[in-house]
Structure 1
Amino acid sequence: MPVTSVRTALPRRAHAHQRGRVRLGAVAALLVLTVGLGVAYWLISQPPRVERRPPPEVPPPVVDVIEVIRGPAAPQIHGYGRVQAERETHLSSRVAGRLESFAPGVIPGRVVEAGEPLLSIDDRDYRLALRAAEADLARAQAELASERGEQLRAQSEYQSFGRELPAERRALVLREPQLRAAEAGVAAAQVALEQAELDLARTQLTSPYRAMIQERLVGSGSEISAGTELLHLVDVAHFWVQLSLPGEALAWIDAGQANGAAASGAEVHLTSRGWPAGAERHGRILSVLPALDEGGLQTQLLVQVDDPLALDSDGPALRLGDLLRAEVIASPRDDLFALPAQALRPGDEVWRLDDEDRLRRARVEVLHRGEDQVLISTGLEAGERIVVSNLGQPRDGMRLRPRTLGSTELAALLDSAAEDES
């Protein structure tokens, strides 16, 4: 009986202990959930804390500046012009005949010296005409000699007559009209002989000056008449460049003497796209033409270039019709400021920097406006720093960081502007 009671009580206690453990786990889980919800609510309910910092200071823009100086300055005057011949000749025949042949060196593009033979015309007829003229002259001279003998005889007879006759009758008796006729016959024969010699000489044509053969206008064997054009020659001593410039440029250059024997005006540097890099030729302004260019906006000048084909000197050769870029050396004026063209702002203003590196606007008086350079007479002081860079939103008084350009950088800046222009 006691044994049975013990066996029944043990399972009941184990079951009760197990139920207690389950209840404790549930309470612990509920407690963890409650704490988690409380922490989440606290995190959600708290506003975010953002640490406020002052914005970083924006550095001032970097600009290129130059220090201006006052002194003699001249504008850079550029223009374009066409090459043309100073003198060209269409050589014509003075006599008729058959063109036998051209001289061996008479080829288009070749240079011939002054007096050099160019071509020959069949001269047989003219040699015969010369012989006939020589015979006529001999006959006339013989008739004159005979008539002078007759005059001496008539004069002897008149003196033996011992009587004075009136002047008219005495002239007839002394055969003075016959003598004058014989003398005229000799003179006419002499003229005919000289003409025959001249015609014979004209069958051989020579170059009137040192020239280049531009074109042969007829072929060998052609029958030609007097006045037929045979050769086109171009003088190689000088070429002209007909240059177009703005009218205001004349105030800065020496235009030379229109009636001068030689070019005495301003020096001109000439370049061409077809020449090697750095190659140029020099010329001088000869005169100013009376008419404007076809557009009626620019003045035309003549520039003379010596030895244009570089036959006696080094350098590129000029070709007729070529378009050349010209830089005219202008006469400088005192007390001017020379600035790159990009330094001039709309409204004839420049941007300068004060002692605190702040931008200040200054109005100036522009004396010359060029594509790559401007000349200013008033509105600046020597030593001021002028901004040559562009700014997106310039404001008066804004702070800038200057970078002073040296002479080499400034020259490169002007060169780049000149290249853009060309």
Structure 2
Amino acid sequence: MSVRHTPCLSVSLRQQAGRSHWGALAALLVIALGIGIGYWLISQPPRVERRAAPASPAPSVEVIRPETGAVAPDIQGYGRVIAARQTDIAAQVGGRLVDFSDAAEPGRVVEDGAPLATLDVSDYQLAVRSAQAALDQAEANLAIERAEQIRARSEYESFGRQLSAERRALVLREPQLKVAQATVDSAEVDLESAQLDLSRTQIKAPYRAMIQERLAGPGSEISANTAVLSLVDVEHFWVRVSLPSEELTWLDTGEDGSPGASVRLTSRGWPDGVYREGKVFSVLPDLEESGLLAQVLVRVDDPLALESDAPALRLGDVVNATFEATPQDGLIALPTLALRDDSRVWIADEDGRLQIRNVNVIYRGEERALLDADSSALTSGQRIIVSNLAQAREGMQLRVIGDAQDTGTATTAPLPPAKGNTPGNAAPHTEGARS
């Protein structure tokens, strides 16, 4: 059986094939167009309109005016309170310690010559009586011998003959008289010695002092030179302060026994604003072992405040000492925090710009530094910056605050660099940021 294709079926098949061909071609064109647009977008960077950065305000700084003329450094140090005179009172004779006086208590002040303790006097009273009896016997023998000498002289004169000097001395009993006189003298010495030992049974204060400690108890059998009490002089104490040797040139160290520079002493245990006054007495010849510092002795009168309402100094206490230094001319005083790199300062000029100056530092303390006025080229009218800046550069604009003599420049808009100040000749200095 043969099959016959009709004309209508052939035309339909050709139309379907044509539509499939054009659809595929359109899809390829769309894909190619997308790839082209994507490549163009990738190859072209985004164009963003650049805007000028906002103007940064000038940093704020605090300034001070330097102190010129005759100035002095602030010299401070720490010292330990020590006794000027401390004594262990010992018995000069032996015996039983009977008792202490009512004033011989630790912490009590005793006057010069005040009785402190008493030893048993029985043996010493007997010794005095024995010495007195020996003296009486010697004086009686001397009186008898003088009577014998008178009798011998009478007989010699009645004899009527002249003898040699030696024989005449024997006849007149002159050697026997000397022996009797010597016996009396020896007996007197023995009596005085016994009386002195008796008086030494009472122990007395050698000077005005405070009782520190009892070293023996009542009823103790003590021998000569046994310490009984510990005393400390209350008239004055020493404060031994350690200072660098170069700081001594600023102090009056009290030559020829005259009082030196005044010293203000403070302690942690005292209320705020309370202090004691002292005077530099001398400089010790040896250095402190740990830091090789000079040791200065400061004298403080009435250290225990027995005659005033001042706070009392205690032995062993550590105090802060502030010395009155001798001013010198031709110097400039600044706070130590105003120094930069140990030899520079920052200045705010009349236009409120930063100027960096080299200075010659004569003295640098914890709070105060002294500069040589001639070599530092600073004046009392200049404004010294004491604030820190994150990036300090010559000529940068500043906003000055805290100057009582000048309200400062309050410009917030950035200004062009000062004439001649280029990145090549700027002197940057990094500190802690403050603006």
TM over 0.5: yes
Following superposition of structure 1 onto structure 2, how do residues 115-264 of structure 1 map, counting pairs within 5 Å? 115-257=113-255, 260=257, 264=259
Aligned amino acid, residue 245 of structure 1: L
Distance 1:310 1:55, change over 3 A: same
- 310, 315, 320: which one aligns with 1:320: 315
> Quick check: 2:252–2:326 contact (8 Å CA) kept in 1?
yes
Specify the alignment match of 2:18 in structure 1: none
Partner of 1:179, secondary structure, is helix
- 381, 384, 397: which one aligns with 1:383: 381
Following superposition of structure 1 onto structure 2, how do residues 287-298 of structure 1 map, counting pairs within 5 Å? 287-298=282-293
**Separation of aligned partners in 2, 1:52 and 1:288:** 73
Per-residue deviation at 1:51? 7.7
Aligned amino acid, residue 283 of structure 2: V
Distance 1:405 1:120, change over 3 A: farther
Following superposition of structure 1 onto structure 2, how do residues 7-406 of structure 1 map, counting pairs within 5 Å? 54-257=52-255, 260=257, 264-378=259-373, 379=376, 380-405=378-403
Per-residue deviation at 1:404? 3.2
Per-residue deviation at 1:179? 0.5
> Quick check: 2:93–2:224 contact (8 Å CA) kept in 1?
yes
**Separation of aligned partners in 1, 2:380 and 2:296:** 36
* % same residue: 57
Higher share of residues assigned helix: 1
Aligned amino acid, residue 253 of structure 1: L
Aligned amino acid, residue 337 of structure 1: I
**Separation of aligned partners in 2, 1:338 and 1:96:** 66
4+ residue segments displaced more than 6 Å: 47-52
Partner of 2:139, secondary structure, is helix
Instruction: Provide Cα deviations, 1:46-95, integer angstroms capped at 9, x if missing partner.
Output: x9998865433211011000122421100000001111100011101011
What is the TM-score when the length of structure 2 is the normalising length? Answer: 0.80
Aligned amino acid, residue 332 of structure 2: F
Partner of 1:98, secondary structure, is strand
**Separation of aligned partners in 2, 1:347 and 1:298:** 23
> Quick check: 1:357–1:400 contact (8 Å CA) kept in 2?
yes
What is the TM-score when the length of structure 1 is the normalising length? Answer: 0.82
Give unpaired runs (5+ residues) of structure 2.
1-40, 406-435
> In terms of mean alpha carbon deviation, does 94-103 or 152-161 score higher?
152-161
**Separation of aligned partners in 1, 2:348 and 2:391:** 16
Specify the alignment match of 1:415 in structure 2: none
The alignment yields a C-alpha RMSD, in angstroms, of 1.8
Per-residue deviation at 1:269? 0.6
Partner of 1:218, secondary structure, is coil
Give unpaired runs (5+ residues) of structure 1.
1-44, 408-422
Distance 1:69 1:303, change over 3 A: closer
> Quick check: 2:334–2:369 contact (8 Å CA) kept in 1?
yes
Instruction: Provide Cα deviations, 1:186-225, integer angstroms capped at 9, x if missing partner.
Output: 1011111111111110011111111011111111100001
Aligned amino acid, residue 268 of structure 2: R
**Separation of aligned partners in 2, 1:406 and 1:297:** 44
Per-residue deviation at 1:234? 0.3
Aligned amino acid, residue 73 of structure 2: P
Distance 1:406 1:187, change over 3 A: farther
**Separation of aligned partners in 2, 1:130 and 1:321:** 46
Per-residue deviation at 1:406? 5.3
Per-residue deviation at 1:133? 1.1
Per-residue deviation at 1:336? 1.4
Instruction: Provide Cα deviations, 1:140-198, integer angstroms capped at 9, x if missing partner.
Output: 11111111111111111111111111111111111111101111111011111111111
Distance 1:85 1:164, change over 3 A: same
Aligned amino acid, residue 286 of structure 2: A
Distance 1:205 1:216, change over 3 A: same
Partner of 2:379, secondary structure, is coil
Aligned amino acid, residue 160 of structure 1: S
> Quick check: 1:256–1:287 contact (8 Å CA) kept in 2?
yes
**Separation of aligned partners in 2, 1:363 and 1:224:** 74
> Quick check: 1:81–1:244 contact (8 Å CA) kept in 2?
yes
Per-residue deviation at 1:296? 4.6
> Quick check: 1:88–1:234 contact (8 Å CA) kept in 2?
yes
> Quick check: 2:67–2:334 contact (8 Å CA) kept in 1?
no
Q: How many residues align?
A: 359
**Separation of aligned partners in 2, 1:347 and 1:140:** 90
> Quick check: 1:67–1:404 contact (8 Å CA) kept in 2?
no
Partner of 1:84, secondary structure, is strand
> Quick check: 1:245–1:300 contact (8 Å CA) kept in 2?
yes
Instruction: Provide Cα deviations, 1:273-323, integer angstroms capped at 9, x if missing partner.
Output: 111222111110110000000125210011110000000012111111111
Aligned amino acid, residue 89 of structure 2: L
